[in-house]
Amino acid sequence: MAESVVRFDEVSLGYGKRLVLQGLTFDIKKGECLGVIGPNGAGTTTLLRGVLGLIRPRAGCISAPGALHYGYVMQRQFLDTLFPFSVADIVRMGRFGRKPAWGRLNRKDRQQVEDALEIAGLTDLQDALYRELSGGQRQRTLIARALAYEPDVLLLDEPTNDMDVKGENQIMGLVQEIQRKTGGTIVLVSHLLHVVLNYAERLMFLADGKAQL
């Protein structure tokens, strides 16, 4: 049985006086793709924030066996297109979290950026301006940025949001390719069951503040 990288034990999460999720007990296993399904407002983003440690449990405990590095691609992420960032510029940003303040990228950093671009199918677009990309290409760029960080756990919040069927299939194919090439742990959130059904190894459903595996 695969070891757990993150464990929830009777966890409740919320904001202010409002509880969003209650009594969550589950684990995220090393090397798996866990699909989290829930309608809008079910608390899927809250769950990811709990994993990241951005909010503390109201009850219960979230534990991990050691220090983990997370790559997070948030829902509807905004990058100011006023600045002429290239695809490679965006992906390089993923290395900054691994560097001391004002640290320069070294050979290893540059290689990791090249690897992330290759996995995301962006090598030929690395000099293209981010603001000129299609929606699917922008999402690939943000996923590549998260990969450049060398995450132990990759968290994807609605990665196919507002995409057509072709775009959905391309992004989900990329998720499959990431797991095949890196063997990493992926948590994939969507409100659409068909998006993750054929890709996730396990599914967790969120509804009415509860979780069902």
Q: What would the pLDDT profile of 189-202 be if each residue is shown by its tens digit?
A: 999 898 888 889 99
pLDDT of 168 above 80:
yes
What was the pLDDT predicted at 80? 63
What was the pLDDT predicted at 28? 96
Q: Provide mean pLDDT across the span 79-90.
A: 82
* DSSP per-residue string spanning the chain: -PPEEEEEEEEEEEETTEEEEEEEEEEEETT-EEEEE--TTSSHHHHHHHHHTSS--SEEEEE-SS---EEEE-TT----TTS--BHHHHHHGGGGGGS-TTPPP-HHHHHHHHHHHHHTT-GGGTTSBGGGS-HHHHHHHHHHHHHHT--SEEEEESTTTT--HHHHHHHHHHHHHHHHHH--EEEEEES-HHHHTTT-SEEEEEETTEEE-
Give residue-wise pLDDT tens across range 15-29. 988 999 999 999 999
Q: Provide mean pLDDT across the span 94-99.
A: 85
pLDDT of 175 above 70:
yes
What was the pLDDT predicted at 89? 94
pLDDT of 82 above 70:
no
pTM of the model: 0.91
pLDDT of 41 above 90:
no
pLDDT of 101 above 90:
no
